[in-house]
Amino acid sequence: MAIATLDQVLPQGRAQKYAVGAYDFMNPTMMLGIMDAVEETRTPVILQFPDGQCMDDLDIYAPAMIAAAKKASVPVVVHLDHGKSLDACRRCLEAGFSSIMIDASTQPYDENVRITREVVALCRPRNIPVEAELGHVGQGLDYDPDNYQYTDPKEAAAFVEATGISALAVAIGNAHGVYRGKPRINYAVLEEITRLVSIPLVLHGGSGIPDEDFKKIIKMGVSKINIFTELALEAADRLRAIEKGKLDVFSADEAVRSGFKARTLQKIRLFETKSL
């Protein structure tokens, strides 16, 4: 099947009130576990490559991701997660990625707009959609709902209009990684963003958010949800459960792959992801 784009998998999710999972990975075994799950359920997936330490090995990861997407019987978006620079976005674009995220959310609003517009201009000639972030989704270990930088709904509408992005990552009480305390989603902010912004909305830091919150968030318009930590924790639990004396590279590989598959399956069902 041909590699898909965000524009091909997200609008239907928003219209029909379901979400498509976007899963990061750090090695091929993790990626294969994710692909096992989507093949079993026959559902689309957003396979994410995170900017950062892995970028040094882009020339190795990109062909593997693209090969997995082409081999799949379901739509697979090959996506750059949290691109931090124009150069990172350009490299992934040239490597064959079908979707790009630029994250300039730590910059002042006007600078975020400027950087995001540059990336959209870079991607538009190839019909590659761009995701961006407004409001800042920080780290769960620093999570403090009383001092949180929420996305401003009116700014969100202006940002989408000014940049021409295809998907907007919002800050509504979510954070990356393991949360310090229970996440507190601000539904009033999300409701207003949904009213003012017509493009698909994205939730980063999905690991650790309660199931009942996910269901409500999706019904309110979020159609892309990023998950990594929960997959990694499931794999770690399975590694620890291997009997003493039976841990080797083969059992470890199976534990990681099956852990990523199991948790991805759980999220597909929770998000009510539908086949395209």
- Active-site annotation holds for 81: yes
Give the separation between CA 118 and CA 107, rounded to whole angstroms. 15
Q: 3-state SS of the chain?
A: CCCECHHHHHHHHHHHCCCEEEEECCCHHHHHHHHHHHHHHCCCEEEEEECCHHHHHHHHHHHHHHHHHHHCCCCEEEEEEEECCHHHHHHHHHHCCCEEEECCCCCCHHHHHHHHHHHHHHHHHHCCCEEEEECCCCEHHHCCHHHCCCCCHHHHHHHHHHHCCCEEEECCCCCECCCCCCCCCCHHHHHHHHHHCCCCEEECCCCCCCHHHHHHHHHCCEEEEEECHHHHHHHHHHHHCCCCCCCCHHHHHHHHHHHHHHHHHHHHHHHCCCCC
Q: Degrees (nearest 5) of the Cα angle 175, 201, 69?
A: 90
10 Å CB burial of residue 209 (0-12, 13-18, 19+) is: buried
HSE-CB of 115 using CA atoms within 13 angstroms = 23
Do the beta carbons of residue 172 and residue 150 sit within 8 Å? yes
Query: Which residue out of 51, 56, 59, 81 is catalytically annotated?
Result: 81
Catalytic residue positions?
81
